[in-house]
Amino acid sequence: MNALRRNVLKSAAGAGTVAVAVAAGLLTPTFALAGAPRSAFQAKNLGDALKEMGATGAADSKDITIKAPDIAENGAVVPVEVTSGIAGTTSIAIFAEKNASPLIADFDLMNGAQGFVSTRIKMGQTSLVRAVVKAGGKSYTASKEVKVTIGGCGG
Amino acid sequence: MAEPMRIRATMAGDVADVKVLMNHIMETGLRKDAKTGQMVPAHYITEVTASVNGTKVLDAGMSGGISKNPYLGFKVKGPKAGDKVVINWVDNKGDKNTAEATIG
């Protein structure tokens, strides 16, 4: 019991820990459902962000489509649309790999929400735009390169 | 930041297509003010939730990497024309905004 308590205190970020905490009735499920931890948004590189989200071993998938321009003239506004054809998609996360904070947004989908999100992101420089999809407890990923003429981070 | 939010929700077959335009500066905190040379403090939306007839369908976490005046499009299977879509957001300063629309 003591060890469990310590784990929860140490990192509410680890998805496994949260699952244990839910099972033990320590946290309400509503809290546990709240997507990627804020720590993932603070991560300064893609590897750390994926680790914080528990999506390190994401498998490449052809069922994820990323619609984004090949060349973005203005990095401040890059339209990105992600469609997941994977059955049971529960979340879609969007990364701009070379941004100062790569994780842009994480969308948890439930109660009939389809595997689709569309938004506009900022990109500091030419880089891969990566989507990470979670479905049935597994992670899948796909990426697309977007060339940026004028960066949209900083200024 | 209590400026209005625009929501358009339309049915396409059995799927509701929802488009939201939020009014927010989305400051990353990494940008310098050209005049003063000071860093512009971070001010961006951190969480957006959407529900249809009171049932949550989408819960999004965001960083300052989302463009100014964020656009969000998503699709939900199940609702009918006339159902209510409610969008809520919260930013890193604790400001909040809510808007609702009827699916047409």
Residue B41 clears pLDDT 80, i.e. is over it:
yes
* pLDDT tens readout for residues A33-89: 446 788 999 999 999 999 999 899 899 999 999 999 999 989 999 999 999 999 999
Q: Which residue has the higher pLDDT, A75 or A18?
A: A75
Any CB–CB contact under 8 A between A63 and chain B? no
Q: What is the pTM of this model?
A: 0.83
3-class secondary structure, A154: coil
Look at the alpha carbons of B50, B51, B52, B56 in this order and tell me if their dihedral is positive or negative.
positive
ipTM over 0.85: yes
What percent of chain A has a predicted confidence (pLDDT) above 90? 67
B9-to-A26, B3, B88 alpha-carbon distances in Å: 38, 20, 15
Burial (Cβ within 10 Å: 0-12, 13-18, ≥19) of residue B104: exposed
Name the pLDDT band for B34 (thresholds 50, 70, 90). Answer: confident
* Residues of chain B above pLDDT 70, percent: 97
pLDDT bucket at A6, cuts 50 / 70 / 90: low
CB < 8 Å to A104, chain B: 62-63, 65-66
Pick from B57, B65, B78: which is nearest to A121 by CB?
B65
Mean pLDDT of A125-138: 95
Looking at residues B28-55, what average pLDDT do you find? 93
Q: Which residues does B contribute to its contact with A (CB < 8 Å)?
A: 15, 19, 26, 28, 30-32, 34, 46-47, 52, 55-68, 70-79
Mutation target to probe the A interface, by most A beta carbons within 10 A, among B17, B18, B48, B63 is: B63
